[in-house]
Amino acid sequence: MKRTLIMAKAIVTMDDDYHVYESGHLVVEDERIVLIGSGKAPNQHYDEVMDLPNHLLMPGLINAHTHTPMVLTRGMCEGVSLFTMDGFINTLRRYEMDADADMASASVGVSCAEMIRTGTTCFVDQYFYADRIFEAVDASSLRAVIAYGIVELGEKKARERELALATDFLNQCRTHVRITGWIGPHAFFVDNSEELIQEEMRLALKYKAGFHIHFATSNEENNYCRKTYGCDAIKKMEAMGIMEIPILAAHSITVSNEDIRIMAEHPFYPVMAPSAAMRSGFAAAPVKEMRLAGVKVLLGTDNVCNSNSYDMFREMATAGKLVIHTARDVNAITPKEVVAMATRDAAQAIGQGDRIGSLESGKLADVIALDLSDIGWVPMGAQDWYTQLVYSVSGHSVTHSMVGGKWLMKDRLLCTVDYRKECERLEESNLKLLKRLAKRAGR
């Protein structure tokens, strides 16, 4: 049994009472927190003592919506709105058609490293090549919920193939301690048929998995369901029983008050990706209205083609400002509530609220430390910790990262990922992709 003592100037717990311990200590035995509080720790034997007198400890952040292989095309979608079918089909899908599993695998390591470096300890992914994503995440020691991405477009052969591969992937994840398998229909009704959705539901119930989808980015689902079924998409989803399965729904922008009422009655979690939405020229989701109805809204970076960064601290700042700006209400959301979106609320949404999302005795030790000597923290007497975390600093203040009691980063040095090596692999894959694209274009 390994016992680790971490001491810090402050510990932001994000527990039910939002305790903040000044001059705090945290004791970890193997993978779990066994003691947390203010003042000196008990005088016991510790295998490791980490004294961080000018640092803040908090739960690792949870990125609730991303596509890790898409760092391969970072910077290649400038001036294009990936939230439109035109941008998706004629730009992104064109790149994806020339990419392959090896390129995807060579990209995920960079994504993992950048998340570790900026304070994310758990993320929710949705993409093709899920088995290759699994390998890279396993090597990084990050925690993840990986949804096997499915695009069918009504093709029976594609449906049978993708269901078989999704089943294999769910079996692959079944006993893993850090990686959970989910199902990732890209978008219900838009590119996943009703026949496929029924099969996906059976699969989700069998494996106790959730759905990670894109929803209501525009009115495509509603237009299809109104024409085909005579009702809005969310009512059709409710009638089919889809809403009884946990759902993380990226974007959820074009939703009505009635949609929000139905969301609140089910395990349905909209995921705001503010940077991606703004860079695609789309409006913000009605977060204030959702929250008032009791809907827990989460936070994610989406792909880094058009959000460009995995820094969830930057994303928290953007989210807070965008919610307030959209609502024209300075009290539409508080910094504490924004931090909850990226910690305790996200943990609950992925079915792990009893394991992660807050720093409490008995929970898994997913912990990050931030350097209080960095710019943005002073004057400390005039700011509360949550305001500082959301609006004053970035993920570059993160110096240490731990997942399940294992160090992923110490003193800003990555322990589980060779970032330079992963960058080299990504550069090689990107160059290969560019050559394929040029050949297709006849250049």
Tally the domains of the chain: 2
Instruction: Tell me, yes or no, whether 376 lies in a domain.
Output: yes
Based on the domain organization, do 52 and 164 belong to the same domain?
no
Cβ neighbours of 438 (radius 10 Å): 10
Based on the domain organization, do 255 and 330 belong to the same domain?
yes
Residue 229: which of 218, 240, 219 has the closest Cα?
240
* Band of residue 84 on the pLDDT scale cut at 50, 70, 90: confident
- pLDDT of 246: 98
Three-class DSSP labels, the chain: CCEEEEEEEEEECCCCCCCEEEEEEEEEECCEEEEEEECCCCCCCCCEEEEEEEEEEEECEEEEEECHHHHHHCCCCCCCCCCCHHHHHHHHHHHHHHCCHHHHHHHHHHHHHHHHHCCEEEEEEEECCHHHHHHHHHHHCCEEEEEEEECCCCCHHHHHHHHHHHHHHHHHHCCCCCEEEEEEECCECCCECHHHHHHHHHHHHHHCCCEEEEECCCCHHHHHHHHHHCCCHHHHHHHHCHHHCCEEEEECCCCCHHHHHHHHCCCEEEEECHHHHHHCCCCCCCHHHHHHCCCCCEECCCCCCCCCCCCHHHHHHHHHHHHHHHHCCCCCCCHHHHHHHCCHHHHHHCCCCCCCCCCCCCCECCEEEEECCCCCCCCHHHCCHHHHHHHHCCHHHEEEEEECCEEEEECCEECCCCHHHHHHHHHHHHHHHHHHHHHHCCC
Q: For 425-431, what is the mean pLDDT?
A: 97
Based on the domain organization, do 41 and 145 belong to the same domain?
no
Instruction: Tell me, yes or no, whether 421 lies in a domain.
Output: no
Instruction: Tell me, yes or no, whether 423 lies in a domain.
Output: no
Average pLDDT of the chain is 95
Structure tokens, 316? 């928290």
* Band of residue 56 on the pLDDT scale cut at 50, 70, 90: very high
The domain of 53 spans: 3-59+358-411
Based on the domain organization, do 38 and 143 belong to the same domain?
no
* CATH at 371: 2.30.40.10
C-alpha distance across the termini of the chain, in Å: 61
Across 87-96, 264-273, 361-370, 371-380, least confident range: 87-96
- pLDDT of 176: 97
* Band of residue 60 on the pLDDT scale cut at 50, 70, 90: very high
Instruction: Tell me, yes or no, whether 235 lies in a domain.
Output: yes
Q: Are 317 and 376 in contact (CB under 8 A)?
A: no
Rounded to whole angstroms, the Cα distance separating 133 from 101 reads: 9
Distance of CA 206 to the CA centre of its chain: 24
Across 12-16, 259-263, 306-310, least confident range: 306-310
Q: For 52-71, what is the mean pLDDT?
A: 97
Q: For 409-432, what is the mean pLDDT?
A: 97
Q: Are 237 and 243 in contact (CB under 8 A)?
A: yes
Based on the domain organization, do 50 and 69 belong to the same domain?
no
Instruction: Tell me, yes or no, whether 422 lies in a domain.
Output: no
Based on the domain organization, do 295 and 366 belong to the same domain?
no
- pLDDT of 404: 98
Based on the domain organization, do 136 and 196 belong to the same domain?
yes
Instruction: Tell me, yes or no, whether 39 lies in a domain.
Output: yes
- pLDDT of 89: 72
Based on the domain organization, do 363 and 383 belong to the same domain?
yes
pLDDT in tens, 172-196: 999 999 999 999 999 999 999 999 9
* Band of residue 443 on the pLDDT scale cut at 50, 70, 90: low
* Environment class of 250 (CB within 10 Å of its CB; exposed 0-12, middle 13-18, buried 19+): buried
pLDDT in tens, 112-168: 999 999 999 999 999 999 999 999 999 999 999 999 999 888 889 999 999 999 999
Q: For 280-299, what is the mean pLDDT?
A: 96
> What is the percent of the chain where pLDDT is above 70?
100
Q: Are 282 and 48 in contact (CB under 8 A)?
A: no
Domain termination site, one of 325, 350, 375: 350
* Environment class of 244 (CB within 10 Å of its CB; exposed 0-12, middle 13-18, buried 19+): middle
Based on the domain organization, do 72 and 88 belong to the same domain?
yes
Instruction: Tell me, yes or no, whether 124 lies in a domain.
Output: yes
* Band of residue 77 on the pLDDT scale cut at 50, 70, 90: confident
pLDDT in tens, 332-385: 999 999 999 999 999 999 999 999 999 999 999 999 999 999 999 999 888 899
Rounded to whole angstroms, the Cα distance separating 359 from 137 reads: 23
Q: For 289-309, what is the mean pLDDT?
A: 95
Answer whether residue 305 shows pLDDT above 90: no
Based on the domain organization, do 156 and 295 belong to the same domain?
yes
Q: For 277-287, what is the mean pLDDT?
A: 93
* CATH at 341: 3.20.20.140
Domain termination site, one of 303, 333, 350: 350
Based on the domain organization, do 49 and 135 belong to the same domain?
no
Instruction: Tell me, yes or no, whether 442 lies in a domain.
Output: no
Based on the domain organization, do 222 and 313 belong to the same domain?
yes
Crossing angle for the helix pair 194-207 and 156-173, to the nearest 10 degrees: 10
Answer whether residue 201 shows pLDDT above 90: yes
